[in-house]
Amino acid sequence: MPDFGALEGFTLEKMRENRIPGLSISIVANDEIQYARGLGFSDISSGLPATPRTLYGIGSVTKSFTALAIMQLAQEGKLNVEDPVEKYVPDIPRVLGQPPTIHHLMTHSSGLPLLGYGEAFISGVLGFDNSWLPVSSPEDIITFMRDAQDWAVCKPGERFFYLNEGYVLLGYIISKISGLTYEEYVQKRILAPLGMSRTFFSRADVEKDNDRATAYIIDKEGKHIPSTFPYGITSDGGLISNVLDLANYIRMCLNSGEFNGKTIIKQKMFEAMEEPHITLPYESPLGKESYGYGWGVTHNFFGHKLIDHGGDVGVYKAYVGYIKEKKIGVAVLANPSKYLLTNVGMFALAQLLDKDPQALPFVKHDRILNNLQGEYETYKGTMKFRIKRAGNFLIAELKDRYTEESIPLVPERLGEDRSTFFTISEGTKLTTEFTVRDGKVEWIFERYKARKKG
């Protein structure tokens, strides 16, 4: 196994840059937990450290549990993934005259765009804005969706649109067919057999546990405001877990449905979840990506097929990913941040593959963008600019006593020695470039040339 010092250093640096209070990570290899650690605080005010046992909301990683439950019921002949949803949910709207199927809901290909229930619900509960959508049950979501056919973009199966509401409907179908609540079904058929004894849906269960991460909101000034988990979301993002329990889940995934001699689901049915059923409508720096049943599929992660999913409920973030061919996987959970835990997980997986994580696009891009930030001056300090980072973009600021101008710079090509960006000025596309020579950074923009101070 690799030395995870580099991973720890990278993780702590990103926690510092993004003000993440606490983070926990576990790594699975060859059917065993090879590494588990918490960094930072589970609760800032009391100084409690994050540990591998610390509980966090896992957000949309829950969707893979929902898809697994659907496939268990399909295996038992209680449903077929090609069944129209209206067979189980009569009030669900048709999409351009066609009924979406269970398959379409699991692959986010119903033809309906995001309807925003989850965003509005979380914003209202956490007080992010004035949104208020009081939906406390799947039946409420069905009512909410009743007129959604007017928002259809395409026929089912034609295009990927991430749809939280679809996974709420899947949870409703699980409950209707099994005779159990969705939460009871997942607990009985998935969590208990996997020994995930500290993975919960309810506030009461979570609050009995003495190792749980405080939910925080990070405000505009970077302050950590104690908040709460948005209880009420379930089959689309409602699980609360820890990286040790998720390590058991990863072990089951790596063994195609088997765990400690128990069959959670048959291999053929599980592997159908990992198939690339629909291509995502964008290409990441890692190339082609697809979606299976409750899982994302990256086709070429250092030459391997990566199965993964992230989660975000405003006050917690999550990432789970695994490479079956190499029998490795990782789980990362944290308090809130704008930073993607996907990056931490992929850094760990790169190390497990004995690859240089510095070659990962996001690591390279982070390093380049951070290096370009700073104070710049033209010849003999006649003009001064400030270049600052805003996510994946740069902002060029020019200020004087009376005026202030901010110019967004969109990256075109990021290189160690030369990077180009563009902006739009009065309808004209302007290209600007940064060069790095002998440790000096220079910026050329329209008529100006400026050099970074220091």
pLDDT over 80 (residue 185): yes
Is residue 206 over pLDDT 90? yes
Estimate the crossing angle of helix 164-178 against helix 117-126, to 10 degrees. Answer: 100
User: CATH classification of 5-356 is 3.40.710.10, yes or no?
Assistant: yes
**pLDDT tens digits, 328-360:** 999 999 998 888 999 999 999 999 999 999 999
Model confidence at 113, pLDDT cuts 50, 70, 90, reads very high
pLDDT over 90 (residue 82): yes
| pLDDT value of residue 39 | 98
**What percentage of the chain exceeds 70 in pLDDT?**
100
Written as six digits, the tokens of 11 are: 């993780």
Report pLDDT for 30.
95
Strands 32-43 and 48-49 turn out to be antiparallel
How close are the terminal C-alpha atoms of the chain, in Å? 40
Across all residues in the chain, what is the average pLDDT?
95
What pLDDT band is residue 454 in, cutting at 50, 70 and 90? Answer: confident
Tell me what percent of the residues of the chain surpass a pLDDT of 90: 87
- Encoded tokens for 81: 């993934």
Which residues have a Cβ under 8 Å from the Cβ of 197 and sit 6 or more positions away? Answer: 191, 245
Multiple choice CATH, 366-452, 2.40.128.210, 3.40.50.300, 2.60.120.650, 3.90.1150.10: 2.40.128.210
Average pLDDT over residues 100-109: 98
Is residue 32 predicted with pLDDT exceeding 90? yes
Q: Where are the domains of the chain?
A: 5-356, 366-452
Residues contacting residue 295 through CB under 8 Å, at least 6 positions apart: 64, 67, 273, 274, 307, 308, 309
Q: Return the pLDDT at 399.
A: 85
The pLDDT score that the predictor gives to residue 437 is 93
pLDDT above 80: residue 6: yes
Q: What is the pLDDT of residue 81?
A: 98
Give the pLDDT confidence of 236-278 residue by residue, as tens digits. 999 999 999 999 999 999 999 999 999 999 999 999 999 999 9
CA dist 321 and 344 (Å) reads: 11
Mean pLDDT for the stretch of residues 36-65: 98
Amino acid type, 72: Q
What pLDDT, on the 0 to 100 scale, is given for residue 129? 77
Each residue's pLDDT tens digit, 391-449: 899 999 988 778 889 999 999 999 999 999 999 988 999 999 999 999 899 999 999 99
Contact indicator for 42, 213 with CB cutoff of 8 Å: yes
HEC-encoded secondary structure of the chain: CCCCHHHHHHHHHHHHHHCCCEEEEEEEECCEEEEEEEEEEEECCCCEECCCCCEEECHHHHHHHHHHHHHHHHHCCCCCCCCEHHHCCCCCCCECCECCEHHHHHCCCCCCCCCCHHHHHHHHHHCCCCCCCCCCCHHHHHHHCCCHHHHCCCCCCCCCCCCHHHHHHHHHHHHHHHCCCHHHHHHHHHHCCCCCCCCECCHHHHHHCCCECCCEEECCCCCEEECCCCECECCCCCCEECHHHHHHHHHHHHCCCEECCEECCCHHHHHHHCCCCEECCCCECCECEEECCCCEEEEEECCEEEEEEEEECCCCEEEEEEEHHHCEEEEEEECCCCCCHHHHHHHHHHHHCCCCHHHCHHHHHHHHHHHHCEEEECHHHCCEEEEEEECCEEEEEEECCCCEEEEEEEEEECCCCEEEEEEEECCEEEEEEEEEECCEEEEEECCEEEEECC
Average pLDDT for 299-316: 96
Residue scoring higher pLDDT (80 or 129): 80
Residues 162-184: tens digit of each pLDDT: 999 999 999 999 999 999 999 99
pLDDT value of residue 91: 86
* Residue 211, pLDDT above cutoff 90: yes
Q: For residue 277, which amino acid is it? A: H
pLDDT digits over 362-400, tens only?
999 999 999 999 999 999 999 999 999 998 999 999 887
Residue 375 has a pLDDT of 97
